[in-house]
Amino acid sequence: MSSVDLSFSREDRVYHPSESVEGTIVVNAAAPIIHSGISLSVSGGVMVQLFGKGVGVLEVLSGGGSKSVPLFERKVELSHPGKLTEGKSEIQFKIHLGPLTGPGRPANASSAPSSSAGGGFTAPTLLPTYHGVYVNIQYLITVEIRRSFLQRTLSCVSEFIVEGKRELVLVPRPLSAAEPIKFIITPDTHNHPLGPALRAAGGFRISGSLASICSVDEPLIGDLTVEKSSLPIKSIEVQLMRVESVPLHDKTLREVSAVQTTEVAVGDVCRRMMLPIYVILPRLTVCPMIVTQAFAIEFEVNVVVTFDLTKLKPTMMLHSKGKHPQNSAAAIKETLPLRVVAA
């Protein structure tokens, strides 16, 4: 059976705006192929899916629950009608990347959200690749070898990654020069139902710091110290969260979801010992912060400390606001902002 495949000039398939996507089309023909033309198309766009209670059933059924905004589209004819010989054939291609211009095109420049998702806005450059829950920015390249209507068209679709340039706004370089965010976790800083019981047991105090700005290709670095804790600690985790916002009518739909969870420590850690925080950002599900009229993509970090309640005395539970917990653990969460920037 004949097949067609795409091979990019770069193994990581990463390209930047104003560069050219280059590669080779590889055709393996089981027999000579008579075709009516070979075309190559490159497209990029944003797919915004509306969500939450603010979206009505009629909007979803009528297709109003999703918006598509084109970023880039180009098509070239690589070959006129002709014939490919049996065996392996290679066709080189090269397409320059550049944003679409005119009304109804997106931008990555920061601006206030408009009253409707997918509204018109202009783009000075292409947006970086991003795969989220409700917002996706994707770039695809498609090759088609058209044959007669009695034969199936040979085609191949492949994705490549676009990485944006550095922000136009001032960002401290190197990023390590930016002031980190310092935090302190105690029973008094969190309104937890077991707060009174934890205070009665002796309380806890956890301090640390985390980078406030992080590049997409660099690790998120920080530290954490358990200064004191009367209860055993079960685990300490760092959760990377995505915050996707979409304006709808006179309000903004905002959804927070987890990207990944990194374990900092498991078990009852030593007191007054600094624990390092080192988180590798997943490239396809993390991108530089984007705020446009049609959508916004931001990030934040949760520091989650889980305590072991098996050694909490029943008499201490009288101080709590609720009944004795069914679970043997209780988690305290500290949320910190994180600004992700281009490399």
204-260 per-position pLDDT tens digit:
899 999 999 999 889 999 999 999 998 889 999 999 999 999 887 788 888 899 999
Two tokens at 208? 């640390």
pLDDT digits (tens, 9 = 90+) for 265-288: 999 999 999 999 999 999 889 999
Same domain assignment for residues 137 and 245: no
One-character DSSP codes across 75-92 = EEEEE-SEEE-SEEEEEE
3-class DSSP state of 107: coil
Would 283 be classed as within a structural domain? yes
Residue finishing a domain among 114, 137, 162: 162
Same domain assignment for residues 114 and 214: no
* Lowest mean pLDDT, pick from 32-36, 38-42, 251-255: 251-255
Would 333 be classed as within a structural domain? yes
Would 157 be classed as within a structural domain? yes
pLDDT for res 252: 82
> Is the pLDDT reported for residue 103 higher than 80?
no
pLDDT for res 314: 57
Same domain assignment for residues 183 and 85: no
One-character DSSP codes across 271-325 = TT-EEEEEEPPPTTT--S-EE-SS-EEEEEEEEEEEEE-TTS-GGGGGGSSSPPP
Would 168 be classed as within a structural domain? no
Would 170 be classed as within a structural domain? no
Same domain assignment for residues 225 and 337: yes
Q: How many domains does the chain have?
A: 2
What is the average pLDDT score of the chain? Answer: 81
Would 114 be classed as within a structural domain? yes
Confidence class of residue 166 from pLDDT cuts 50, 70 and 90? Answer: low
pLDDT for res 176: 63
pLDDT for res 170: 54
> Is the pLDDT reported for residue 58 higher than 60?
no
Two tokens at 58? 């009629």
Same domain assignment for residues 125 and 250: no
CATH number of the domain enclosing 214? 2.60.40.640
Would 8 be classed as within a structural domain? yes
Same domain assignment for residues 118 and 180: no
- How far apart, in whole angstroms, are the C-alpha atoms of residue 59 and residue 65? 5
Same domain assignment for residues 275 and 250: yes
Q: What percent of the chain has pLDDT over 70?
A: 77
Q: Which residue has the higher pLDDT, 164 or 109?
A: 164
> Is the pLDDT reported for residue 112 higher than 70?
no
> Is the pLDDT reported for residue 125 higher than 80?
no
pLDDT for res 70: 87
> Is the pLDDT reported for residue 329 higher than 60?
yes
Q: What is the pTM of this model?
A: 0.79
Beta bridge partners of 297: 244, 290
Are 206 and 227 in contact by the 8 Å Cβ rule? The answer is yes
Same domain assignment for residues 301 and 227: yes
The CA–CA distances, whole Å, from 265 to 5, 82, 227 equal 45, 63, 15
Residue finishing a domain among 119, 140, 162: 162
> Is the pLDDT reported for residue 52 higher than 60?
no
Would 73 be classed as within a structural domain? yes
Same domain assignment for residues 302 and 203: yes
- How far apart, in whole angstroms, are the C-alpha atoms of residue 340 and residue 243? 12
pLDDT for res 236: 96
pLDDT for res 270: 94
Confidence class of residue 298 from pLDDT cuts 50, 70 and 90? Answer: very high
pLDDT for res 101: 54
> Is the pLDDT reported for residue 113 higher than 50?
no
Domain extent, residue 189, equals 175-341
Sign (positive/negative) of CA torsion 292, 121, 97, 144?
Answer: positive
pLDDT for res 173: 61
Same domain assignment for residues 298 and 151: no
* Pairing between β-strand 213-215 and β-strand 181-185 as defined by DSSP bridges: unpaired
Two tokens at 299? 């990030």
- How far apart, in whole angstroms, are the C-alpha atoms of residue 22 and residue 329? 54
Residue finishing a domain among 162, 183, 205: 162
pLDDT for res 105: 43
pLDDT for res 65: 62
pLDDT digits (tens, 9 = 90+) for 179-201: 899 999 988 887 766 667 677 76
Same domain assignment for residues 218 and 98: no
Same domain assignment for residues 70 and 96: yes
Two tokens at 198? 């934890």
